[in-house]
Amino acid sequence: MFAYIMRRLAVAVPTLLLLIVFSFILMHLAPGGPFTQERELPPQVLANLNAKYGLDDPLWKQIINYIWGIVAHFDFGPSFVYPDRSVNELVAAGFPVTLTYGSLAFIAAVVMGVGLGVVAAIWHNSFLDYLAVGISIGAQVLPNFVMAPILVLIFTLWYGLLPGGGWSFSDPSFWIMPVIALGTSYMASIARITRSSMLEVLGSNHIRTARAKGMPEHRVIIRHALKPAMLPVISYLGPVFVSMITGSVVIDIYFSTGGIGKAFVDSALNRDYAVMMGVTILVGALTIVFNLVVDVLYAWIDPKIRY
């Protein structure tokens, strides 16, 4: 197991480096620098600014400096647009918010999706099954940017139950709509995956054996069916996790929650390349780490996998 994790890390580190180099080169290819403004700066000022941010060094040196800053000091450099703030500060301000509603949505989607799928599979072709399938088919065409306006329309504009935007760590009523908007379509996907894999497992030989020896049904399901049925779900957790972070872009814009999605879009509109790169690299690192965790979990649950 240890060797497997090491081998995966050996791929993950170059991937991350590649992502950094790729986005760095992209940034240089892009027309217009961070100091391009409508009124052109005097050449001396521009030269001084470039010297201050190290932009007059050769490209390879800039890349090495940038990577060294991240590796050695976890420092993503200063923001190009707000000179008094570093990328770290800008990202750190939004990260806890994204983490809160993102992980809540993740947990909600997984728990409800698995629950719905298992119920549908156990009572296959019953009213409950049709209800669950109906919900999951309906929910999968409701991505976060569709759910968000609909939720605001119903809960804020029509019934006035929930605040239509903003964020507070102490008041959960601010959390509800972001979590629902973010989680719904993934809950649907997870429910569908769970249902079909559960149905397949319930029809397999070892379940028939367990039933034949007189094991009560709830134990058959919990001890013998659930674990193998979870494998496809686990391999889907990586993409879900990524979508939670990606979706934060929409959530932050629509609900003004102020997470890292907001930092990203603001910097995109300001052409603040330093912040954009910082967020992209951070998200990339999180993705790689999470995928690693998922793969390890998968290998641990599935005895057929030799790593």
Interacting residues toward another protein by CB under 8 A: 11-12, 14-15, 18-19, 23, 26-27, 29-31, 137, 140-143, 145-146, 148-149, 152-153, 157, 185, 188-189, 192-193, 196-197, 232, 235-236, 239, 242, 245-246, 249-250, 253-254, 264-265, 268-269, 271, 273, 276, 279-280, 283-284, 287-288, 291
Residue 122 or 188 having the CB closest to another protein: 188
Residue 150 or 215 having the CB closest to another protein: 150
Using CA atoms in the order 111, 113, 118, 123, what is the torsion angle rounded to 10 degrees? 130
Residue 83 or 149 having the CB closest to another protein: 149
CB of 279 to another protein, least distance (A): 7
DSSP string, 262-297: HHHHHHHHHT-HHHHHHHHHHHHHHHHHHHHHHHHH
Exposed / middle / buried, residue 148 (Cβ in 10 Å: 0-12, 13-18, 19+): buried
Residue 120 or 276 having the CB closest to another protein: 276
How does DSSP classify residue 220? I
Chain position carrying tokens 């934060």: 248
- CA-to-CA separations, 115 to 32, 118, 198, in angstroms, rounded: 51, 5, 11
CB of 216 to another protein, least distance (A): 29
CB of 47 to another protein, least distance (A): 23
Residue 115 or 232 having the CB closest to another protein: 232
CB of 138 to another protein, least distance (A): 9
CB of 142 to another protein, least distance (A): 8
Residue 51 or 154 having the CB closest to another protein: 154
CB of 91 to another protein, least distance (A): 13
How does DSSP classify residue 206? H
Residue 119 or 260 having the CB closest to another protein: 260
CB of 132 to another protein, least distance (A): 16
DSSP string, 15-79: HHHHHHHHHHHHHHHSSS-TT--SSPPPHHHHHHHHHHTTTTS-HHHHHHHHHHHHHHH----B-
Using CA atoms in the order 58, 269, 105, 238, what is the torsion angle rounded to 10 degrees? -30
For the chain, how far is it from start to end, CA to CA, in angstroms?
A: 7
Q: Is 83 strand, coil or helix?
A: coil
